[in-house]
């Protein structure tokens, strides 16, 4: 009994500390609960606190108080379980759509099953109401376990995030927004590249943080919280209310400005606005926030006895040069995993020894006795003057992996390891193979080295060979005929973007190149990599103001301030960053074919139907011109599944 009382006191004190500021800066004046929102808020409270991820809600996507059925799902541990769940969801949705069609034909039908559905709509529902509801039957997976885990994780960061928002003079209740975005999941990554607990996209993240191949501050809860505070503050200044500013976090500030101009208030937007992109997610975002806020501020009511993670005591040090994580961890007597857990903005290449921790990096370490002295005594020879370069090779027709390896002074095993090649080391024209540096090769050899005894050496060699093989064979999917490479294998771990400069020429003593634009690239990216203005590139290519560039478009670029090789390296790292992050969070579990229909284009297909990034579709259809799809044409679509370890 005493232990139970102690737990309750701790929960009460934590909740008081985290929400005390809200009484003066997170009032209902800031976050009004409009009567029309109440059914939606109640719905999301059930999603977050009643139904687990092994339960699904079949409901109307406009009137969220209309819940047709709660279905039980199998745990998502195997592909067969996922398939059975999908079949169950489709079958249940189809069942209720059929009942609604019956009611649309005859609202007074005596069919017992149809009458149960009709009762959910009330006595005033008409045939037109039932007809409209046919296409609005929606599935929502429960999130109780995810939300609960998010509450536990949030304890480690909420006090610091609260201080950040207080510094920006923002309502403290905004600190609960990551419960909607990510459930405070530090590994959260969307299929379209939104990363971290605040789910910043690459482009939005670069406006407020450092986002590159070595350091991506979107993954760091503290850096990202500073960025989120600035973005929310900017949204509020533009739109004038927190319901609008919060919805803009999901829908975009410019789009919400148009919605406000059309309808005036948030309440009118919620009730009446029918913008082209203002769909279920945007319409419900503010309601989700209000539901999450209610639960997070009343934890003991919804999740009694919950214990939060405690904040970590850390100290920040500024590094005086580039340094390998291996050297640093050895000197400060910490495991690399500890350094990683406290410095989440450092990307995977740093921990694979492909990149150094950057010069001037603000390194967070445990605030324990002697740490300051250890950091101050880092020997000068551990610091490097320059960052490691990324070396790669564009595969030509007829290239063989062993020859490529020998040409670059590395072993075939090095090449296999660096690119996750299969045991036959097959490579294909158009791939950009990463070429490990000699230092990488030594690290790899050291990792699998053993004492001199012959039996142990043999064991090490076997482990080395095992490492060289792909970790997950299903990742290598043989595409069908539409890709133009029947029988070949697609290796999703290798960048296939066209990052080479196609043609190089000199004009008026200035070096220029011609490139082909690839997926995700913008004029802003090129300007940043070339150290010139975007307008200069526009002028070179006679592009009108605000004219957008498109995939496969030829573009003239200047090489007055950067070398061609360095530019290609930056392009390689840009695409490698996207692909590595995606394949850390998701796995490829097969392919299927899609037949192009009239009106289809690759952008809307990827966004609305496949829910996959264009670069991934392009990787499986290298010989297809995705800009010019024609009805009847077939393209290969990878089957993507979220990895279990990234769901929590």
| Catalytic residue set | 181
Of 129, 186, 140, 112, nearest to 46 by C-alpha is 140
Q: From residue 109, give the alpha-carbon distance in Å to each of 103, 148, 170.
A: 7, 43, 55
Q: How far apart are CA 187 and CA 296, in angstroms?
A: 21
- Is-contact 65 45, C-beta < 8 A? no
Q: From residue 249, give the alpha-carbon distance in Å to each of 43, 48, 258, 360, 632.
A: 21, 20, 15, 31, 39
- Is-contact 333 374, C-beta < 8 A? yes
Q: How far apart are CA 369 and CA 544, in angstroms?
A: 60
Of 533, 581, 90, nearest to 349 by C-alpha is 581
How would DSSP label each residue in 379-438? Answer: -GGGSBSSPPPP-EEEPPTT--HHHHHHHTT--HHHHHHHHT--TT----TT-EEE---H
Q: How far apart are CA 194 and CA 622, in angstroms?
A: 25
Of 161, 138, 145, nearest to 48 by C-alpha is 145
Q: Any idea what the Cα angle at residue 111 is, between residues 106 and 116, rounded to 5°?
A: 95
Tokens 């044409």 found at: 633
Cβ neighbours around 186 below 10 Å, total: 17
Instruction: Give the distance between the most distant pair of CA atoms in the chain.
Output: 86
């Amino acid at each position: 009994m005493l232990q139970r009382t102690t737990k309750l006191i701790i929960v009460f004190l934590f909740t008081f500390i985290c929400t005390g500021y809200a009484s003066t800066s997170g009032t209902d004046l800031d976050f009004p609960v409009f009567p029309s929102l109440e059914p939606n808020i109640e719905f999301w409270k059930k999603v977050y606190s009643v139904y687990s991820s092994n339960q699904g809600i079949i409901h109307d996507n406009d009137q969220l108080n209309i819940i047709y059925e709660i279905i039980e799902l199998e745990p998502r541990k195997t592909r067969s379980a996922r398939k059975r769940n999908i079949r169950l969801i489709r079958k249940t949705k189809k069942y209720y759509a059929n009942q609604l069609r019956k009611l649309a034909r005859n609202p007074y039908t005596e069919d017992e099953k149809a009458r149960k559905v009709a009762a959910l709509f009330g006595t005033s529902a008409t045939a037109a109401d039932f007809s409209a509801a046919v296409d609005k039957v929606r599935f929502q997976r429960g999130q109780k376990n995810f939300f609960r885990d998010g509450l536990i994780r949030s304890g480690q960061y909420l006090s610091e995030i609260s201080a950040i928002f207080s510094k920006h003079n923002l309502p403290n209740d905004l600190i609960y927004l990551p419960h909607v975005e990510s459930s405070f999941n530090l590994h959260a990554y969307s299929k379209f590249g939104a990363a971290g607990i605040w789910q910043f996209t690459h482009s939005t993240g670069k406006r407020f943080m450092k986002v590159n191949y070595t350091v991506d501050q979107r993954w760091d809860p503290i850096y990202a919280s500073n960025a989120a505070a600035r973005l929310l503050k900017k949204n509020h200044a533009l739109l004038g209310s927190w319901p609008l500013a919060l919805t803009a976090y999901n829908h975009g500030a410019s789009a919400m400005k148009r919605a406000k101009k059309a309808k005036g208030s948030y309440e009118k937007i919620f009730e009446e606005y029918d913008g082209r992109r203002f769909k279920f997610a945007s319409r419900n975002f503010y309601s989700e926030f209000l539901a999450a806020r209610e639960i997070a501020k009343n934890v003991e009511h919804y999740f009694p006895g919950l214990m939060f993670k405690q904040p970590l005591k850390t100290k920040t040090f500024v590094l005086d040069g580039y340094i390998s994580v291996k050297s640093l961890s050895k000197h400060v007597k910490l495991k690399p995993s500890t350094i990683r857990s406290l410095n989440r903005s450092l990307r995977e290449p740093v921990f694979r020894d492909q990149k150094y921790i950057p010069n001037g990096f603000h390194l967070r370490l445990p605030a324990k006795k002697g740490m300051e002295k250890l950091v101050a005594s880092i020997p000068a020879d551990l610091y490097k003057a320059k960052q490691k370069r990324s070396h790669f090779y564009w595969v030509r027709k007829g290239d063989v992996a062993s020859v490529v390896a020998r040409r670059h002074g590395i072993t075939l095993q090095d090449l296999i390891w660096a690119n996750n090649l299969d045991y036959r080391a097959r490579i294909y024209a158009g791939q950009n193979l990463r070429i490990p540096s000699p230092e990488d090769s030594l690290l790899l050899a050291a990792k699998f080295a053993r004492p001199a005894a012959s039996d142990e050496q043999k064991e090490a060699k076997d482990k080395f060979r095992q490492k060289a093989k792909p970790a997950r064979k299903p990742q290598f999917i043989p595409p069908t005929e539409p890709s133009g490479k029947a029988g070949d294998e697609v290796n999703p771990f290798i960048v296939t973007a066209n990052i080479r400069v196609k043609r190089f020429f000199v004009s008026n003593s200035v070096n220029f190149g011609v490139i082909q634009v690839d997926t995700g690239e913008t004029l802003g990216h090129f300007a940043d990599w070339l150290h010139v203005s975007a307008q200069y590139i526009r002028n070179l290519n006679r592009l009108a103001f605000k004219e957008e560039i498109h995939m496969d478009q030829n573009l003239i670029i200047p090489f007055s301030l950067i070398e061609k090789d360095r530019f290609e390296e930056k392009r390689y790292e840009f695409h490698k960053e996207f692909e590595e992050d995606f394949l850390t969070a998701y796995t490829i579990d097969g392919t299927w074919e899609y037949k192009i229909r009239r009106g289809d284009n690759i952008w809307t297909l990827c966004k609305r139907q496949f829910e996959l990034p264009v670069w991934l579709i392009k990787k499986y259809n290298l010989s297809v011109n995705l800009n010019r799809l024609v009805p009847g044409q077939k393209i290969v679509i990878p089957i993507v599944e979220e990895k279990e370890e990234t769901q929590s």
